[in-house]
Amino acid sequence: MFAHIFMNRLRCLLRDKETIFWTFAFPLALSLFFYLALSNIGKGETFQEIDIAVVNDSRYQEDLYFKTALEEASKGEDRLFDLTLATEEEAGKLLENGSIKGYIKAGDQIELVVKESGMYQSIIKSFLDNYSQTFKAVETVLRNDPKKYQEVMESLKDRKNYVKEVPTAGGKPDIVINYFYTLIAMACMYGSFFGMRETSDIQADISPLAARINIAPVHKLKAFLSSICASMLIHLVVMLALLGFIRYVLNIDFGPRTGYVLLTMVIGSITGVFFGAFVSALVKKSEGIKVAVLIGVSMLGSFLAGMMYIDIKYLISMNVPFLSWINPVNLLTDAFYSLYYLDDLSRYALNIGVLSGFATLFCVLTYLILRRRKYAGL
Amino acid sequence: MPVYNLCMRIIRKNIPSLLIYLFVFVGVSIIVSSSSANPQKAVNEFTRKKADIAFISKDDSPLIEGLRNEIGKIANFIDIPDNKGDLQDALFFRRVVYILRVPEGFAQKFIAGEEVFLEKTFVPGSASSAYIDLSVDKYLNTAKFYLEHMDNISQEGLVAYLNDTLSEEATVTVLPARTKTNLSNLAYTYNYMAYSLSSILILGMSAIMMALNDKDLKNRMSCSPISGTKSNLQFFLACLTFSGAAWLVQIIACFILDLENVMTLNTVFFIISSLVFTFCGTALGYLIGSIVKGTEAIPAITNVVVLGSCFLSGVFVPAELLGKSTLKIASFTPAYWFVKANNQIAQLSQFDLSSLKPVFSDIAVIFCFASAFFALSLLIRKTKRYN
């Protein structure tokens, strides 16, 4: 009997194009839009060689130290600047049309001319400050002991880097990835549309189909379980396809722990389906109202998990951590984030633990609402 | 006017779902206008850009205190608890862009000439990281220089030398900025209309079309004493009322939220571009209503069409952050030209023909899209009728 109900239910659900659209095609399309719109966002903060010009006059040509310093900083792979030599007039034009961030005038007091304040302009200034300050340091030392000239000049060449990068075990802090994680989490919660259908189709006072199922000589729990298994199977396949699309077509990194990523998706999917079943059993209103509640909760959850504005997730977790822990979309997003970015699994385990708790709670509550329901008249 | 009244009744029935988009629009507009409450003053004075960093020190020597002060000139120190999870979270969500850790006994070893390093965790390849590195290396290299050449120097004496040396700065001249209009926040609000207005127009128009496409209703209308021309005219009048009202409500919302710029010429051009876009949205709604068969499919198609074009055209994410190929795809949607026109209008300070030409050409493209949508839907309807 299980196989009979399961197979028929499967066929029935696959014909429901609307639910398939919202659970599969919509998140898929949204992931593509995210990819097209957000793939350039991270590049804005990447350092690029700064285009600058220097006024090529006699003062610049005569100031050999400054000339060498500037040329050194504009050479090699890790260079700071892309340097152009120009007359003051040309440099002014280049600055005006935005080809350079600023131009430098050599002299006793080095001058930087810019159009606005900004990160790149500040870096140019830091470089020039550095030069003037080194000059001042040399002056101070030589004033103290003029004989050290040769020694001092030699030591200037020996500049060291004092900052060493500490390698982190997890992935890169790529902010765009979180948008895709919230999207998968939202798609998991959209499994609630399947759950909603299952409870609507088993409560005889809600739909004529449910009334027919209720008079069949099958235990209600058995009928319900067989149907919800079909729903879960479809939703899992749908989620697997979405995950595969995001991972292999859009090339979004999930870290090396594929097994855990799949486990998260399965638990997320189960939570989504049972959430829908629970809401549908609880809200004794029309389908429109139930759908509105489900979409409202999923969208609010997605918003709080950073789907529309990434900073929200961090703000909530810092200021109202309770809200982070009761939001299934955030728990799922955070589980994916932990797998990708953090090396230890304790936070992941906590997220999955709380999420499983939610899934169990929705399941038990749905059962308690649906069981032993008798209808005096329909 | 029975056809007109019928259309109005259908719209009234759909008002709750249409209102959602209006609320989203008003909400976003309020957020955008409140974020522009403190407009940036045009300054002709150079201010250093400050990066947000976490500075964790296990060494409280004067040398490190001096380093902290020096970095403080170019960075804001953000307090983050010193545990791995919190620090990694802060870096991922850009609360800080750089974490600098000073190991225990750093200053002592540094003064003794041992090879020591500060530890950094940062957003790879970021400009702020290059900026902080430059400052730290400058401080420590100057300190090393003094240690090598000044005999018997104490740590306090070293810091005094460093403070004196590092106060030397290059002169920066900021060219006087040309007076340039920048209403980018207002442009963002008008651009957002591409989402809310299109959604409202497509949903409303398709709802009317779905009802009018009903076979029984069509038969009933064709046997009524109202001529085809008259009923068509009433239908178009209803569409005009609906789209005009949808446009007017959002324009009024824009006015209320930005009273300061209502009387500018830029607003006049914003109004023109949004009006042409409304016409285009109505045409698109008419086209979708002519193609789609079931009412369930309408929200699905609306969401994909509207969200897709808005994501690609720079409505949600500013167009300058989008890739070239994305914008090329987007140029096949009217939203792209609407956003382009609005962004240009926001920059307008002179209203001569040469400055207005690009704006008008973008508006003309939107108009062409609208005409194409109308022509296509008329063709589809005609083909359907013959079938």
Domains, chain B = 2-34+177-386 (no CATH), 52-166 (3.40.1710.10)
Low-confidence stretches of chain A (pLDDT beneath 50): none
Q: Which residues have a Cβ under 8 Å from the Cβ of A161 and sit 6 or more positions away? A: B133, B137
Query: Nearest-CA neighbor of A184 among A73, A301, A309, A16?
Result: A301
Put simply, whether A77 touches B (Cβ < 8 Å) is no
Q: In this predicted model, what pLDDT tens digit does every residue of B50-78 receive, in sequence order?
A: 889 999 998 888 889 999 999 998 899 99
Q: Tell whether A223 and A303 lie within a shared domain.
A: yes
- Quote the CA–CA distance of A121 and B240 in Å, as a whole number: 52
CB-CB contact of B107 with B154 (8 Å): no
DSSP A31: H
Question: Counting one residue from A and one from B, how many pairs have CB atoms under 8 Å apart?
Answer: 228
- Residue A140 identity: T
Q: Is the pLDDT of residue B38 over 50?
A: no
CB A188 within 8 A of CB A22: no
The yes-or-no verdict on residue B384 having pLDDT over 70 is yes
Q: How far is A218 from chain B (nearest CA, A)?
A: 33
| Closest residue, chain B, to A346 (C-alpha) | B85
> Are residues A23 and A65 both part of a single domain?
no
Residue B259 pLDDT greater than 80, yes or no: no
Which B-chain residues 139-158 have CB contacts (< 8 A) with chain A? 140-142, 144-146, 148-150
Nearest CA in chain B to A153: B145
CB contact under 8 A, B326 and A44: no
Q: What percent of chain B has pLDDT over 90?
A: 25
Structure tokens at A267: 């638990």
Is residue A65 a part of any domain in this protein? Answer: yes
Question: What pLDDT score was predicted for residue B2?
Answer: 83
Q: Of A22, A38, A97, which is closest to residue A306 (Cα–Cα)?
A: A38
**Which residues of chain A lie closer than 8 angstroms to B316, CB-CB?**
37
Q: Which of B95, B117, B175 sits opposite A164 (nearest CB)?
A: B117
Kindly tell me if the per-residue pLDDT of B177 is higher than 70. Answer: no
| pLDDT mean over B350-364 | 88
pLDDT digits (tens, 9 = 90+) for B369-381: 999 999 999 899 8
Asked if residue A67 and residue A34 are part of one domain, the reply reads: no
Tens-place pLDDT, residues B308-331: 999 899 888 888 888 888 889 999
Instruction: Note whether residue A342 is domain-resident.
Output: yes
Strand ranges across the sheet with A163-165: A163-165, B118-122, B98-102, B51-57, B75-77
pLDDT at B360 > cutoff 60: yes
Query: Does one domain contain both A56 and A26?
Result: no
Angle at B80 between CA A123 and CA A307, to 5 degrees: 85
Separation of alpha carbons A353 and A356, rounded Å: 5
B328-346: pLDDT as tens digits: 999 999 999 999 999 888 8
Q: Single out the residue in A124, A144, A164 at which a domain terminates.
A: A144
How far away is chain B from the Cα of A221, in angstroms, using its nearest Cα? Answer: 31
- Whether A103 maps to a domain, the answer reads yes
Assess B136–A contact: CB distance below 8 Å, yes or no.
Answer: yes
Burial of B273 (0-12, 13-18, 19+ CB in 10 A): buried
Are A319 and A351 contained in the same domain?
yes
Over 60: is that where the pLDDT of B37 sits? no
Can you tell me the mean pLDDT for B194-199? 89
> Across chain B, what does the average pLDDT equal?
86
Helix (H) or strand (E) holding A228: helix A220-244
What does the alpha-carbon distance between residue B176 and residue B179 come to, in Å, rounded to a whole number?
Answer: 9
pLDDT of residue A187: 95
Q: Which of A30, A112, A313 sits opposite B172 (nearest CB)?
A: A112
Domain boundary among A144, A165, A196: A144
In this structure, the answer to whether residues A54 and A35 fall within a common structural domain is no
Are A190 and A103 members of one domain? no
Q: What pLDDT score was predicted for residue B229?
A: 85
Determine which of A109, A163, A334 to mutate to test the interface with B (most B C-beta atoms within 10 Å).
A163
Could you tell me if A113 and A259 lie in one domain? Answer: no
Give domain status of residue A7, yes or no.
yes
Q: Does A100 share its domain with A79?
A: yes
Q: What is the reported pLDDT for B181?
A: 59
Q: Is residue A162 part of a domain?
A: no
Specify whether A9 is located in the same domain as A54.
no
Per the structure, the complete domain to which residue A252 belongs is given by 2-39+177-371
**Closest residue of chain A to B133, computed from CA coordinates:** A163
Structural domain tally of chain A?
2
Portion 145-184 of A in contact with B at CB < 8 A: 145, 148, 151-152, 155-156, 159-166, 168, 170, 172-173, 175, 178
Helix pair A258-282, A328-341: axis angle to 10 deg: 180
The pLDDT assigned to A173 comes to 84
A201 lies in some domain = yes
In B71-90, the residues whose Cβ lies within 8 Å of chain A are 74, 85, 88-90
**Residue A139 and residue A261 share a domain:** no
Give residue B387's pLDDT: 67
Q: Are residues A252 and A333 in the same domain?
A: yes
3-state secondary structure of A155: helix
Domain contains A60: yes
Reported confidence tier of residue B48, pLDDT bands at 50, 70, 90: confident
Note whether A122 contacts B100, CB cutoff 8 Å: no
SS3 call for A165: strand
Confidence category of residue B3, pLDDT binned at 50, 70, 90: confident
Q: Does B121 lie at the interface with A, CB-CB under 8 angstroms? A: yes
A57-100 confidence digits (pLDDT tens): 888 888 888 888 888 888 888 788 888 888 888 888 888 878 88
